[in-house]
Amino acid sequence: MNILYQLVLRNTRLYLRDKAAVFFSFLSVIIIIFMYVLFLGKMQETNLSEAYSNVEGIDWLVSSWIMAGILTVSTVTVPLSALGTLIDDRYKGVLNDFYTSPIDRKILSLAYLISSWVIAIIMVSLNFIVGQIYVIIMGGEILGLLSIIKLYGVILLSIMTFSSLFFYISLYMKTQNAFGTMATLVGTFIGFLGGIYIPIGAMGKNVQTVMNILPSAHSVTLIRNIYMEGAIDKVFSGAPQGVLENYTFMFGLQVNIGDYLLSPFQLVMSMVIFGLFFYVLSVVKLSKSKL
């Protein structure tokens, strides 16, 4: 256990020392913030105010929706960026040194995976704090302790799920350029796949089905439902049930596969299965070749 701890500590320190890696892991988040501050946020607030007759709490609702999406993006891009340490070690020949040591390769691999979790938790927590400050500035309220506990449970699940996926993919990456290209593509498309740039309800039915199958939609839906609970209660407290249902469909607070509505439990289980699937594939890959 001491070896695992030391390896995790090493990987975490290496990542945090690389200011460029830290910055680029947040690049998608920064882009989303600028887009919403400059025009998307105001457009959404205006549209919702007109649709719901300027009901009180719209600013809180929109800011919570934005920050929930940003949290989800962080659970995807930060673990991916953190796994860049594996690629760097392979490129620099550090892995060869590890291979000649008595360290078990499974321990070595687990260290890279766990360090990506630790790094992601640190960075996502910073995002959460900034997001709560922004929500308060916009007239909202801070999340309660129980909501924060539930939110972190989903955040951790999301981090572990996407870490497993990207760790498996990283096992096939031999160069820093290849890894950088993948990270760029993921950072570019995650805002669309999570229904953050464009609400999922505004897209075509076929596109909605494809997006709702992906774990990114499951993660952002779970996070939004917890993060936005207070704002939704305030805005829709006196509204007919159909109005709330229309909003949850349009803005991605539910996941439908065809005409079937997935429950929160099913969303959680789908992410667990997805993460375990790629973890098992990684173990199989590792048993047949070098990292």
SS3 1: coil
- State the pLDDT at residue 54: 65
DSSP 260: E
- State the pLDDT at residue 151: 96
- State the pLDDT at residue 224: 94
Write out the residue range of the structural domain in which residue 102 sits: 2-288
Could you identify the residue written with the tokens 């300027």? 54
**pLDDT tens for residues 152-199?**
999 999 999 999 999 999 888 878 888 888 888 887 788 777 777 778
Nearest to 135 by CA among 246, 227, 258, 12: 227
pTM of full prediction above 0.85: yes
Positions in the chain whose pLDDT score sits under 70: 24-28, 37-43, 45, 47, 49-54, 95-97, 99, 287, 289-291
Q: How many domains does the chain have?
A: 1
CA 2 from chain centre, in angstroms, equals 30
Nearest to 79 by CA among 275, 210, 287, 290: 275
- State the pLDDT at residue 2: 83
Percent with pLDDT over 70 in the chain:
89
